């Protein structure tokens, strides 16, 4: 992103942030932190190609975004997007939700998709919920189902919007472990490491996991770098996303 002005997904004419300069390289593991209403979801929706920047230049895999044309859809599918809360289709079971991208984009029948779907469900511990509809599941399991759907096409990069939001310590640990596996490569993803960008309200859970950090605040994206740069950042930049400056 070069000098990008970010709009709101709800009102694309409203400016959420300006002057965004951010580069994500293959194999990176980023966390973008910000308070409620800072624009993290808007940033990730734009990064995922769901809306265009108001101004500036955003290139994804070398192509200027957005790439809405059907002929260029393959490029967008190289990025998976995990929505806050899952955003599942409530009339479908978890199994059907996860299979849907394979059936729609790869023209598979549900039976043809099932081996790959079952492997994903097993990896993410979703097997017992496979035939449930989302409304019958706790929030954490809805989030996991959303992750499964985002990963089923084996994207090269993954954007995860607020995955730890509303979760207890045990469930947060599960997500952190899964992201660690994704960043290193897992068999379900054919062993290929996935480039990661995650949004968060608090940087602290990510200290020993993510490798690069940025803050979205006051309509600006401040790119910090590694954790050593986080600890050197000004207090006003970190206020609200890192209350304790020197954590062990």
- Over residues 6-27, the pLDDT tens digits come to 999 998 889 999 999 999 999 9
Q: What is the mean pLDDT of the chain?
A: 92
Paired tokens of 155 = 């994207």
Span 137-164, average pLDDT: 96
**pLDDT, position 107:** 93
Span 159-170, average pLDDT: 94
Q: Tens digit of pLDDT for each residue in 79-132?
A: 999 998 778 999 999 999 999 999 999 999 999 999 999 999 999 999 999 999
Q: Which of 212, 62, 86 is nearest to 150 (CA)?
A: 86
Span 162-182, average pLDDT: 95
Q: Which of 25, 155, 20, 5 is nearest to 79 (CA)?
A: 155
3-7 contact pairs (CB < 8 A, 24+): 3/55, 3/56, 3/57, 4/46, 4/53, 4/55, 4/56, 4/57, 4/58, 5/53, 5/54, 5/55, 5/56, 6/39, 6/42, 6/43, 6/46, 6/53, 6/54, 7/42, 7/46, 7/51, 7/53, 7/54
**pLDDT, position 248:** 37
Strand order through the sheet with 2-7: 15-20, 2-7, 55-57
Q: Is residue 247 very low, low, confident or very high in pLDDT (cuts 50, 70, 90)?
A: very low
pLDDT of 244 over the 80 cut? no
**pLDDT, position 76:** 81
Q: Phi/psi of residue 66, each to 5°?
A: -85, 155
**pLDDT, position 245:** 44
**pLDDT, position 108:** 95
Domain residue spans in the chain? Answer: 2-238
Q: Which of 48, 50, 53 is nearest to 19 (CA)?
A: 53
Q: Tens digit of pLDDT for each residue in 36-75?
A: 999 999 999 999 988 889 999 999 988 888 766 777 777 7
The fold adopted by the segment(s) 2-238 is: Rossmann fold (3.40.50)
Paired tokens of 190 = 């054919």
- In percent, how much of the chain has pLDDT > 90? 84
Span 205-223, average pLDDT: 96
**pLDDT, position 246:** 42
pLDDT of 159 over the 90 cut? yes
């Amino acid at each position: 992103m070069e000098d990008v002005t970010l709009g709101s997904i709800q009102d694309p004419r409203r400016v959420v942030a300006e002057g965004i300069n951010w580069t994500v390289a293959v194999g990176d593991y980023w966390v973008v932190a910000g308070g409620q209403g800072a624009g993290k979801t808007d940033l990730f929706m734009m990064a995922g190609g769901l809306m265009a920047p108001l101004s500036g230049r955003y290139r994804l895999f070398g192509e200027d975004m957005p790439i809405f044309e059907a002929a260029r859809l393959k490029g967008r599918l190289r990025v998976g997007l995990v929505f806050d809360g899952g955003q599942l289709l409530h009339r479908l079971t978890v199994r059907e939700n996860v299979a849907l991208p394979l059936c729609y984009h790869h023209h598979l029948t549900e039976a043809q998709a099932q081996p790959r779907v079952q492997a994903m469900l097993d990896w993410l511990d979703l097997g017992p919920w496979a035939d449930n509809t989302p409304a019958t599941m706790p929030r954490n399991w809805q989030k996991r189902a959303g992750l499964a759907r985002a990963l089923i096409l084996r994207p090269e990069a993954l954007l995860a919007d607020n995955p730890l939001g509303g979760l207890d310590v045990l469930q947060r640990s599960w997500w952190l472990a899964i992201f660690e596996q994704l960043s290193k490569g897992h068999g379900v993803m054919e062993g290929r490491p996935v480039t990661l960008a995650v949004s968060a309200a608090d940087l602290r859970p990510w200290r020993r996991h993510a490798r690069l950090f940025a803050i979205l605040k006051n309509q600006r994206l401040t790119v910090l770098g590694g954790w050593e740069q986080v600890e050197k950042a000004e207090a006003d930049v970190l206020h609200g996303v890192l209350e304790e400056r020197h954590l062990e």
